[in-house]
Structure 1
Amino acid sequence: MEIKPPVPPFTFETATQKVRLAEDAWNSRDPDRVVLVYTEDTQWRNRSEFPRGRAEVKGFLQRKWARELDYRLIKELWAYTENRIAVRFAYEWHDDSGHWYRSYGNENWEFNEQGLMMRRFASINDLPIKEADRKFFWPLGRRPDEHPSLSDLGL
């Protein structure tokens, strides 16, 4: 049986830890790594796509990171209950023409008893930005602990 700590019921500390673990996984841009935190039959809503199950989620992530280049993400805990977490996030990326964007959104997550995410519902807006307006400059991969949070950046 797969277990992905921390597991519900969440406290402020464990919900915050779960959010940072998710951010770290997504910043790896490794679909094989990311899908392991979801149930085999996970259900998603991401913009106009509705992937079901790990295989569809993996395909979605492969397409996403082929299109969203130099992707850097920050997630922040918004609220939590026993087995649910609400997150706000922002990420910066550019397309293959060099146009930069900051994408903002909210996610609602629901977990099973083993700490695997059963449902992920995301609402996302894309804002074109100038390269000079970027705020996320760490090397690709995990955001350094000392890097400002969304709140610190006024986002």
Structure 2
Amino acid sequence: MAAERPPLPPFTEETALLKVRAAEDAWNTRDPARVVLAYTEDSEWRNRDLFLRGHEEIVEFLTAKWERELGYRLRKELWAYTGNRIAVRFEYEYHDTAGQWFRAYGNENWEFDANGLMRRRYASINDLAVAPEERRIAV
């Protein structure tokens, strides 16, 4: 039997908010092994122009992401929910090895299985270079 990851669908506003907060908290650890536990073994992702499938590809992607996106800090906001789907808007900040800060904006569409694991994640993301004094997300 597959592991459960409450809250389970169908989502209410309260449970959708809990799911969004749990995702934000996990991603802010920058620990790919922890983050991947929220996804099905065969989870499908579209992240910008990349298409990933399964835990191995997700961990590889997240490891590389957080090696180049230093000081990463994320905020997610519930946008909509219904049944087993949640939509979020998000922003995160990070800097590169040269010290240039960026703010990334985007939207994600999530679909969950009956056990509360995310089986699909589709993300559209844009980056904006920002000066250190323009940062909005405290580390």
Does residue 70 (structure 1) correspond to residue 71 (structure 2)? The answer is yes
**Greater strand share, structure number:** 2
Structure 2 gaps, min length 5 = none
Deviations 1:96-128 (A, max 9, x none): 000000000000000000000000000000000
The total of aligned residue pairs comes to 138
TM score, norm. by length of structure 2: 0.98
TM score, norm. by length of structure 1: 0.88
SS in 2 for 1:14: helix
**Equivalent position amino acid for 1:129 in 2:** V
Whole-angstrom CA distance in 1 between matches of 2:120 and 2:107: 14
Segments of 4+ moved more than 6 angstroms: none
Whole-angstrom CA distance in 2 between matches of 1:75 and 1:137: 14
Aligned counterpart, 2:28: 27
**1:12-91 → structure 2 map (5 Å cutoff):** 12-91=13-92
**Equivalent position amino acid for 2:15 in 1:** T
Cα deviation for residue 137 of structure 1 reads: 1.2
Give RMSD over aligned pairs.
0.5
Does residue 101 (structure 1) correspond to residue 102 (structure 2)? The answer is yes
Whole-angstrom CA distance in 2 between matches of 1:53 and 1:135: 33
SS in 2 for 1:137: coil
SS in 2 for 1:50: strand
Cα deviation for residue 83 of structure 1 reads: 0.1
Structure 1 gaps, min length 5 = 139-155
Whole-angstrom CA distance in 2 between matches of 1:50 and 1:39: 15
Whole-angstrom CA distance in 1 between matches of 2:48 and 2:108: 11
Percent identical residues: 64
Cα deviation for residue 58 of structure 1 reads: 0.3
Does residue 122 (structure 1) correspond to residue 123 (structure 2)? The answer is yes
**1:129-148 → structure 2 map (5 Å cutoff):** 129-138=130-139
